[in-house]
Structure 1
Amino acid sequence: MPVMSKLPDEFGYVVLTGVASWFLVGFMAHKVSKARREYGVEYPTMYSDEEPMFNCIQRAHQNTLEVYPSYLFFLTFAGLQYPRTATGFGLLWIASRCSFASGYYTGDPKKRHRGIYGVPVFLGLMGMTISFAAHQLDWV
């Protein structure tokens, strides 16, 4: 018998966490757009040979976009079985990306490691997603 026949009552928290993450990505995109004007980096150029500060701002956004689809996938499916825990982990992931970006925005790429606590959070969402799948398949 599958774990669920309908969405959990608290799944709305998971949805709101996904919405909050969209604002994070939007803020980061705004920072890149502003940096393009400030440092004179025209589209479609992704990175600058002359402006390492622009590259740091762009890279913080790009790296977040690289993991964002997986984050949303894991958040959604983890939230189907563990809505409160997934919400907490999802919010921690957002906070870690803020720490990551603020470190990058200093111009010193090594300071991006301020957001390293997002790695175990991300793995936790992945683990909850795997647990959800195992329950759906009646493996546990």
Structure 2
Amino acid sequence: MATIAVHPDFAYVIYVVLASWLWVGYLTLCVVLARKKYNVPYPTMYSDKCLEFNCIQRAHLNTLEVYPQFLVLLLLGGLHLPKLSAVFGVIYLINRIIFAFGYYTFNPANRRYGAFGFLALVGLAVNTAMFAVNISGSV
């Protein structure tokens, strides 16, 4: 059986994973409450009449659209440089919070204030690529 030695600093990466899980749960709760408030029943994804609901739904779904990539890059890169990955992860989470609260103003253009988070994803991707190069012995 193969084993992987994990640096104790990998705990920071795990904390970011848990924080991101809490954030996604909060966004889910916001959608559930918005469905009741704006009378948008399941399985309707968007409302033809209610911009407010649509903004809350988009903040949630946009986060979910990128969440798998975020987790994979965070965890794999965290095996290489855990503190750096955790910092990029926190930056990305701050981005998602700003993005969501921008949408929650019910002016979709305000979501753009959270656009810097994709730089954190690039950082996570580069760190993960460095990990691959490191373990493969390439370059």
TM-score (norm 1): 0.95
- Gap change, CA 1:132 and 1:38, over 3 Å in 2: same
Q: Does 1:11 align with 2:5?
A: no
How far has the Cα of 1:71 moved from its partner? 0.2
2:32 aligns with 33
Cα distance in 1 for residues equivalent to 2:82 and 2:71: 13
Runs of at least 5 residues in structure 2 that lack an aligned partner in the other structure: none
Matched, 1:113 2:112: yes
How big is each residue's C-alpha offset from its partner over 1:4-30, in whole Å with a ceiling of 9 and x where there is no partner? 951112111101110000000000001
Q: Distance in 2 between matches of 1:34 and 1:132?
A: 42
Tell me, in whole angstroms, the C-alpha distance in 1 between the residues paired with 2:4 and 2:20.
Answer: 27
**Match for residue 20 of structure 1?**
19
State the Cα deviation string for residues 47-88 of structure 1 (Å, max 9, x = none): 000001100000000000000000000000110011111111
Quote the residue 1:82 is aligned against.
Answer: 81
Q: Which runs of 4+ in 1 moved over 6 A?
A: none
Structure 1 unpaired stretches of 5+: none
Superposed CA RMSD:
1.1
Please give the secondary structure, in 2, of the residue aligned with 1:32: helix
Query: TM-score with structure 2 length normalisation?
Result: 0.96
Q: Distance in 2 between matches of 1:41 and 1:54?
A: 8
Which structure has more relative contact order (CA 8 Å, sep 6+)? It is 1
Distance in 2, matches of 1:5 and 1:22, equals: 24
Whole-Å separation in 1 of the counterparts to 2:90 and 2:124: 11
Give the distance between the partners of 2:107 and 2:138, measured in 1 at CA. Answer: 47
1:65 aligns with 2:64: yes
**Partner amino acid for 2:111?**
R
